[in-house]
């Protein structure tokens, strides 16, 4: 699931960057959301996979605090980007004739930067307090199941929900994959019968 999450989101980012037709506000926000989803899942899942493999739940104090910081940071950033994407769709639907004037590249960059400023100033302290206070009172099995759903399943489904159902993204992904498989390495391997 982790590999599907990372590869799916990375494919979306690369497809958007490689296709000039997708350099619009909506796809700019989608590529940022995909990058944040990669970072979000990468804060906890590798350690979880290591714990499963080694049958050990040990983590250093510094590692735990770092993991919590980045988990909360990217979760909040994800939420803010979804709000910005909702605003982008609101402008596109309610003010279609003024869309390109309102959602110019300068405003798009400002909105993403505002999300980053993120997140740090508004949510880090309160989210940390809520997370620490509720961790002691909940059932560990139900908490673990909920955490897996939130940290693994949702980011894995985001590329399919937000991007891969979109015709423009599908065309860009197909073109990008065709470009990858036409690389000299792949064509040489294919021609030599490997």
pLDDT score, position 75: 87
Q: Render the burial of 99-137: b for 16+ CB within 10 Å, e for the rest.
A: beeebeeeebeebbeebbebbeeebbeebeeeeeeeeee
In whole angstroms, give the CA distance from residue 77 to residue 111: 11
Q: Over the stretch 113-172, which tens digit does the pLDDT of each residue have?
A: 887 776 555 545 555 555 665 555 555 665 566 566 666 676 777 777 666 667 777 787
Residue 110 has pLDDT above 50, yes or no: yes
Question: For residue 113, what are the contacts with CB-CB under 8 A and spacing of at least 6?
Answer: none
Q: Is 120 inside a domain boundary?
A: yes
pLDDT score, position 84: 92
Q: Is 123 inside a domain boundary?
A: yes
Range of the domain at 51: 2-188
Q: Is 125 inside a domain boundary?
A: yes
pLDDT score, position 194: 45
Share of the chain above pLDDT 90, in %: 12
Which one-letter DSSP state was computed for residue 136? T
Q: Is 193 inside a domain boundary?
A: no
How many domains does the structure of the chain reveal?
Answer: 1
Lowest mean pLDDT of 28-37, 51-60, 126-135, name the range. 126-135
Q: Output phi, psi for 56, to 5 deg.
A: -130, 135
- Any idea what the CATH number is for the domain that residue 146 is in? 1.20.1070.10
pLDDT score, position 140: 60
Q: Residue with structure tokens 């400002």? A: 110
Q: Is 194 inside a domain boundary?
A: no
């Amino acid at each position: 699931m982790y590999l599907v999450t990372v590869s799916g989101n990375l494919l979306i980012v690369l497809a958007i960057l490689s296709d000039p037709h997708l350099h619009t506000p909506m796809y700019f926000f989608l590529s940022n959301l995909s990058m944040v989803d990669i970072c979000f899942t990468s804060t906890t899942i590798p350690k979880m996979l290591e714990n499963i493999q080694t049958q050990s739940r040990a983590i250093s104090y510094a590692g735990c605090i770092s993991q919590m910081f980045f988990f909360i940071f990217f979760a909040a950033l994800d939420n803010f980007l979804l709000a910005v994407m909702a605003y982008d769709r609101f402008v596109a639907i309610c003010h279609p004739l003024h869309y390109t004037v309102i959602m110019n590249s300068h405003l798009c960059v400002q909105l993403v930067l505002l999300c980053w400023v993120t997140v740090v100033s508004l949510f880090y302290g309160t989210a940390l307090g809520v997370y620490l206070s509720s961790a002691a009172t909940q059932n560990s099995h139900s908490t673990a199941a909920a955490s897996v759903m939130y940290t693994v399943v949702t980011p894995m489904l985001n590329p399919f929900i937000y991007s891969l159902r979109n015709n423009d993204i599908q065309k860009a992904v197909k073109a990008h994959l065709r470009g990858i498989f036409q690389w000299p390495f792949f064509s040489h391997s294919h021609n030599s019968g490997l």
